[in-house]
Structure 1
Amino acid sequence: MLNGRDPRIDFFRGLALIFIFWDHVPHNPLGQITLRNFGFSDAAEVFVFLAGYASVLAYSKVLQREGYWMACLKILRRAWVLYVVHIFLLAMLMGIVFFANSKVETRDLVQEMGLTHFITNPQQALTDELLLRFKPNLMDPLPLYIVLLLGLPLALPVLVRKPLAVVAVSLTVYLLAPRLGWNLAAIADGVWYFNPVTWQFLFVLGGAAAIHASQPRVPDTRPLRRQPLFLGAATYALLAGIITLSWRWPEVHDAVMPAALSNLLYPISKTDLSPVRLLHFLALAYVTAKLLPDRAWTQNWLAQQSCRMGRFSLEVFCLGVLLAPLADMLNAQVNDAWPMQIASALLGLVLMAGLAAWLELNKRLNQPQAQRTTTVK
């Protein structure tokens, strides 16, 4: 633990940030080893679930220690910080994309990044940006997080006392939203790519998991092979991985996939967090928690780098968003040659890890000397 933090949460947040960056660089070979290639879910589910886990873990303590209104104030303050970061990040991203587009002659990066609205109607685009309606590519996660945080004060007092009741209400909303067309408006009569009305369920599940983890419970001492829930989750995760891998060979997939199963699975909506995506992530999370029940494995050097990035997830995420179009530009300069693709992906990872290390060092230097010596590293 670091100052009361669970290093496993930080590790997987950091890993999700790496996967998000690699997934955002087109044709990146290292993007072939990210989560989305081995199941129905991807790093977005990890990001949202752990955001709910960390938020409820932090603000439930504020609720108990300082009361409801102070918890609300701190939640709203955090949402405001995220909003300001989003606005500045979008401005910086547009500048980087325009620069990258001037260096790439074979593609229109402005169009690919969804910035055409700003070119054709800049005044309306600026208004839409402030209203979180204009979200170019790579810019969807932060607005989703902002909206989910804004809803947390409504759920937090009940969640800490009766988590199952909140989960039940959240599940009902999740199931109704796609059928009733509930979503937030975006530009050009569109809707949010990450529908907050459905993704809130995963956020709530993360919060409920935090409450559950903080309560005493009797551990299940049976071997994993004798735990039906573990076996079911592992089987589902394995089958999802096999089906996902079969997408690389459409002819094979279509030949072996039963029509009834295809009708049940497809389409797999990311916007509305399709149930098969949700179940895959939950199965994967449960299996991972069972296979890695302790924290000792987070103490090795590589794991510590990911943990550090997870501790500064907002800053590292923003850097990853800005690095993705730059990496794409570098790759395009050499016709997407694979050595450059790998080099740019690894360079981005090093820069993200370097930023986290610098932020941690800066934070440590700002601490009083006595506190520095007692901080668990």
Structure 2
Amino acid sequence: MTSISDRVAGPSHVGAADEMVHALPAPILLSLPASGVRELRLDLFRGLALWLIFIDHVSPDVLTWFTIRSYGFSDAAEIFIFISGYTAAFVYGRAMFESGFEIATARVLRRVWQIYAAHVLLFAILVAEVSYVAIGLEKPFYAKEMEILNFLDQPGSAMVQALLLRYRPLNMDVLPLYIVLMLFLPLILKLIKWRADLTLAASVALYAAAWRYDLHLTAYPNGFWSFNPFAWQLLFVFGAWCALGGARRMSRFLSSPVTLWISFAYLLAAFCVTLTWYFPQLGYLMPHWLEQWMYPIDKTDLDVLRFAHFLALAVVALRFVPAGWPGLESRWLWPMILCGQRSLEIFCLGVALAFAGYFVLTEASAGLGLHFLVGICGILIMSAAAWLLSWYKHYVDKAGPRTKRAGGHAQMAGGGP
């Protein structure tokens, strides 16, 4: 007799998972790998997003010239949220097909708890970092810069609000968004299973309503969430829709040369627009009517221009990094892939390292060389941590009682969501 705990933990053999590979729709956007084989492209692009997020945080004035946000409308956040929706649907969608809605929901809530615990721990670490610098080293500028003055003034109220996800220091906005989106994942999967295209249409409608009626979540002590869940859910749901068959239905469109050239044209146009941000003397090239129409390109509410820019990047990336791309076996890309496989831990580490690096660069009035050194050191530390976590999971966890759980769904999807 199978207990509830056994069912929540997942199947003890690979056979059921193998059968589900053939039962589920076959995505084209990021093709399902053969049974027991990781989809390394998911790991690669998620690892890239983590590196870019770290670089944007540690050196926002210098190293961002080497990240995508300086050359278009979107940045690494879109990559991270889309892949999160894709992998979440891949992993827990299978659980729903295999074990039913209740068991899949239980697994999702367990993952939500893990993300929430990681968020609280990161909050404690980051507040400790900033407090030590601001109070211990008598540099109060950093408390204001990292938005923890309210915690220092009213730690009790601020901590309660932090536990409610309404208060967080600078650079800690992604995980609360991720937690909220994951909470609604069982409903999203249920709706996709019922009517996939209708579910995506409902997500688009909610996105439009968020813009039309200014739907948002408030933050403490004032203001709103930096990532509006009512808007960013579109990217998450789109990722889930692609994973569960939507990409297969778009295969002809995605493989069309016309789509590729339109994507290139849009990326070039976005690049030309961003040039006017950094070189104001080029501003005369932008028609006034176009500026009025497109500005502001809002990140909080996921401006449609940002969403379109991400789609264009995805089309180009898929064309040049197809399934089975030999570069995925390169030793030079393996650190990035490892980071993508341990995304939650590496994201938290990257945020903590980013403040430490930012403090060093600010106090040293650093030039380009030190900015590069700090950025590279941070990426090396993140990569080393990912390798250590992977080694621990491979050699230590497998020696314990969980050895039976070989071939889990998260391994095939490219790591847990």
Distance 1:24 1:355 in 2: 19
The answer for the alignment partner of 1:264 in structure 2 is: 293
Computed over aligned residues only, the root mean square deviation of the Cα atoms, in angstroms, reads: 2.6
The answer for the alignment partner of 1:44 in structure 2 is: 77
Distance 1:194 1:87 in 2: 18
For these two proteins, the number of residue pairs brought into alignment is: 373
With over 3 angstroms needed to count, the CA separation of the structure-2 counterparts of 1:68 and 1:174, relative to structure 1, is same
With over 3 angstroms needed to count, the CA separation of the structure-2 counterparts of 1:133 and 1:112, relative to structure 1, is same
Tell me which of 202, 210, 214 is aligned to 2:235.
202
With over 3 angstroms needed to count, the CA separation of the structure-2 counterparts of 1:217 and 1:278, relative to structure 1, is closer
With over 3 angstroms needed to count, the CA separation of the structure-2 counterparts of 1:214 and 1:167, relative to structure 1, is closer
With over 3 angstroms needed to count, the CA separation of the structure-2 counterparts of 1:329 and 1:179, relative to structure 1, is same
Q: Is 1-10 or 319-328 further displaced after alignment?
A: 1-10
Tell me which of 99, 119, 129 is aligned to 1:86.
119
The answer for the alignment partner of 1:280 in structure 2 is: 309
Letter in 1 for 2:351: V
Tell me which of 183, 194, 215 is aligned to 2:216.
183
Kept in 2, the 8 Å contact 1:148–1:203? The answer is yes
The answer for the alignment partner of 2:102 in structure 1 is: 69
Report the 3-state secondary structure (helix = DSSP H, G, I; strand = E; otherwise coil) of the residue aligned with 1:160: helix
Equivalent positions of 1:102-181 (< 5 A) are: 108-181=141-214
Instruction: In structure 2, list runs of 5 or more residues that go unmatched.
Output: 1-32
Q: Once the 2 structures are TM-superposed, how far is the Cα of residue 132 of structure 1 from its aligned partner?
A: 0.5
Letter in 2 for 1:294: A
The answer for the alignment partner of 1:96 in structure 2 is: 129
Letter in 2 for 1:14: G
Distance 2:126 2:192 in 1: 37
CA displacement 1:4-44 (0-9 Å, x = unmatched):
43100100000000000000013453321111011100000
With over 3 angstroms needed to count, the CA separation of the structure-2 counterparts of 1:208 and 1:216, relative to structure 1, is closer
With over 3 angstroms needed to count, the CA separation of the structure-2 counterparts of 1:261 and 1:233, relative to structure 1, is same
Tell me which of 375, 384, 387 is aligned to 1:354.
384
Q: Is 284-293 or 348-357 further displaced after alignment?
A: 284-293
The answer for the alignment partner of 1:20 in structure 2 is: 53
Q: Once the 2 structures are TM-superposed, how far is the Cα of residue 245 of structure 1 from its aligned partner?
A: 2.5
Q: TM-score, normalization: structure 2?
A: 0.84
Letter in 2 for 1:111: K
Q: Percent identity?
A: 34
With over 3 angstroms needed to count, the CA separation of the structure-2 counterparts of 1:305 and 1:273, relative to structure 1, is same
Kept in 2, the 8 Å contact 1:100–1:325? The answer is no
Report the 3-state secondary structure (helix = DSSP H, G, I; strand = E; otherwise coil) of the residue aligned with 1:228: helix
With over 3 angstroms needed to count, the CA separation of the structure-2 counterparts of 1:122 and 1:260, relative to structure 1, is same
Kept in 2, the 8 Å contact 1:59–1:71? The answer is yes
Distance 1:165 1:107 in 2: 51
Q: TM-score, normalization: structure 1?
A: 0.92
Distance 1:279 1:193 in 2: 20
Q: Once the 2 structures are TM-superposed, how far is the Cα of residue 373 of structure 1 from its aligned partner?
A: 12
With over 3 angstroms needed to count, the CA separation of the structure-2 counterparts of 1:207 and 1:178, relative to structure 1, is same
The answer for the alignment partner of 2:321 in structure 1 is: 292
Report the 3-state secondary structure (helix = DSSP H, G, I; strand = E; otherwise coil) of the residue aligned with 2:353: helix
With over 3 angstroms needed to count, the CA separation of the structure-2 counterparts of 1:257 and 1:220, relative to structure 1, is closer
The answer for the alignment partner of 2:23 in structure 1 is: none
Kept in 2, the 8 Å contact 1:28–1:341? The answer is no
CA displacement 1:73-112 (0-9 Å, x = unmatched):
0011111111111111101100111223357777711100
With over 3 angstroms needed to count, the CA separation of the structure-2 counterparts of 1:250 and 1:334, relative to structure 1, is same
Kept in 2, the 8 Å contact 1:103–1:329? The answer is no
Instruction: In structure 1, list runs of 5 or more residues that go unmatched.
Output: none
Q: Once the 2 structures are TM-superposed, how far is the Cα of residue 191 of structure 1 from its aligned partner?
A: 1.1
The answer for the alignment partner of 2:366 in structure 1 is: 336
Kept in 1, the 8 Å contact 2:44–2:340? The answer is yes
Distance 2:93 2:385 in 1: 29
Q: Once the 2 structures are TM-superposed, how far is the Cα of residue 215 of structure 1 from its aligned partner?
A: 5.1
CA displacement 1:169-207 (0-9 Å, x = unmatched):
000000110221111111133111100000000000111
The answer for the alignment partner of 2:19 in structure 1 is: none
The answer for the alignment partner of 1:304 in structure 2 is: 334
Letter in 2 for 1:109: Y
Letter in 2 for 1:283: A
With over 3 angstroms needed to count, the CA separation of the structure-2 counterparts of 1:213 and 1:371, relative to structure 1, is farther
Distance 2:406 2:139 in 1: 55
Q: Once the 2 structures are TM-superposed, how far is the Cα of residue 251 of structure 1 from its aligned partner?
A: 2.6
The answer for the alignment partner of 1:326 in structure 2 is: 356
With over 3 angstroms needed to count, the CA separation of the structure-2 counterparts of 1:103 and 1:265, relative to structure 1, is farther
CA displacement 1:35-56 (0-9 Å, x = unmatched):
1011100000001001000100
Q: Once the 2 structures are TM-superposed, how far is the Cα of residue 290 of structure 1 from its aligned partner?
A: 2.0
Distance 2:279 2:247 in 1: 45
Query: Would you say 1:238 and 2:268 are equivalent positions?
Result: yes
Q: Once the 2 structures are TM-superposed, how far is the Cα of residue 236 of structure 1 from its aligned partner?
A: 0.7
The answer for the alignment partner of 2:278 in structure 1 is: 248
Q: Is 205-214 or 365-374 further displaced after alignment?
A: 365-374
Kept in 1, the 8 Å contact 2:253–2:259? The answer is no
Query: Would you say 1:314 and 2:347 are equivalent positions?
Result: no
With over 3 angstroms needed to count, the CA separation of the structure-2 counterparts of 1:125 and 1:58, relative to structure 1, is same
Distance 1:193 1:221 in 2: 32
